[in-house]
Structure 1
């Protein structure tokens, strides 16, 4: 479906063209979406930064998200969390672990400045795809608490039920492709390399 993240970002920029001229703030969910956010900011005439949220994985399969937590400690618990063995004690402990990791990442990513303030602005939260939607929901909730003027999510590809879950929370989310048999995000990119912390730091300081 997409050659790589750059191709996906260029196509998303076309879909988001109505937001050009509003000086939007593009917030990437690290790490994969950071290169995309930079392209979107350039195409739409805005700024970009990161919104730090972390998936909480299932106790039996860490790749399956049962929730997510933001920097402030607000936890989103997916409806299927209990069915995957994630009780309140597990979620609390995992949230603490992930918050420590986010604090370390924030210190590394933007050591010389505070996060760009979203209050009163048009804000677009971007990721390279939605599998469960948990991290996008957590990110949108975190940004909403900072009182943006306008807020939406944007992804190249999503599982239909995950996109529906985001929208059911009252959020707008622009999505280019919702395949019937989703699989995984990486399956829709011909090239889907890992984005490491060094690349994120370079993009944010560039």
Structure 2
């Protein structure tokens, strides 16, 4: 299955997520940057609140595109099994680099408020696609620690291995396409235009009545 765009995938996710969210005011969290416009569509359609869950992959020292794990904005770290042979000093340095990025993003994305508390709420975490699962695992665990009522994952596409792993990290998983022939998320979209930080900020401001007007 291929999607015309992220918006096309979001519309299909809305249909499958609706039964979980009737009169529930879900908290819908996007993984920046690519998933945030999708997340806004889903939050609006389900009468929910929009925020972001800030996590960053930890890159392999020799293959930067390959994730050895991920870190959330509180500093909690998930390391994949294949990270065991990576120098711990490199891992710690990479963690600190990514934490700096995350703290900067939070300051830019929602400077008018604190992150929305997920305690005792239905929470949906949205991403456009999952390759290794490291980032989504960190996102699930970061939110799970804050005691949501129910934790749901929503993605357009995932690799077969990642999809199998994710079902153990959440209460329900909605994935439109699970592929054993997975090379990159973009291969499943006709239009996979990069989402900018300004796009993310605009989506968050428009979905939050307490946000100040955009200058």
Structure 2 CA distance for aligned equivalents of residues 98 and 192 of structure 1: 24
2:19 corresponds in structure 1 to 18
Q: Is the 8 A contact 2:28 2:50 kept in 1?
A: yes
1:188 corresponds in structure 2 to 188
Superposed displacement of residue 88, structure 1: 1.8
2:51 aligned to 49, 52, 55, which one?
49
Structure 1 CA distance for aligned equivalents of residues 180 and 112 of structure 2: 44
Gap regions ≥5 residues in structure 2: 207-215
Structure 2 CA distance for aligned equivalents of residues 86 and 59 of structure 1: 8
Structure 2 CA distance for aligned equivalents of residues 53 and 171 of structure 1: 20
User: What TM-score do you get using the length of structure 2 for normalisation?
Assistant: 0.92
Superposed displacement of residue 32, structure 1: 0.4
SS at 1:154's partner residue? strand
SS at 2:128's partner residue? coil
Q: Is the 8 A contact 1:69 1:98 kept in 2?
A: yes
1:60 aligns with 2:62: yes
SS at 1:201's partner residue? helix
1:6 aligns with 2:7: yes
2:124 corresponds in structure 1 to 124
- Residue by residue, what CA displacement relative to the aligned partner does 1:134-157 show, whole Å, maximum 9, x if unpaired? 110000000011111111211010
SS at 2:151's partner residue? strand
Superposed displacement of residue 170, structure 1: 5.5
Q: CA RMSD in A?
A: 1.2
Structure 1 CA distance for aligned equivalents of residues 70 and 172 of structure 2: 19
SS at 1:80's partner residue? helix
2:210 corresponds in structure 1 to none
- Residue by residue, what CA displacement relative to the aligned partner does 1:90-111 show, whole Å, maximum 9, x if unpaired? 1111111111110011000001
- Residue by residue, what CA displacement relative to the aligned partner does 1:127-179 show, whole Å, maximum 9, x if unpaired? 00000111100000000111111112110100010111222346532111112
SS at 1:99's partner residue? helix
State how many pairs are aligned. Answer: 204
Gap regions ≥5 residues in structure 1: none
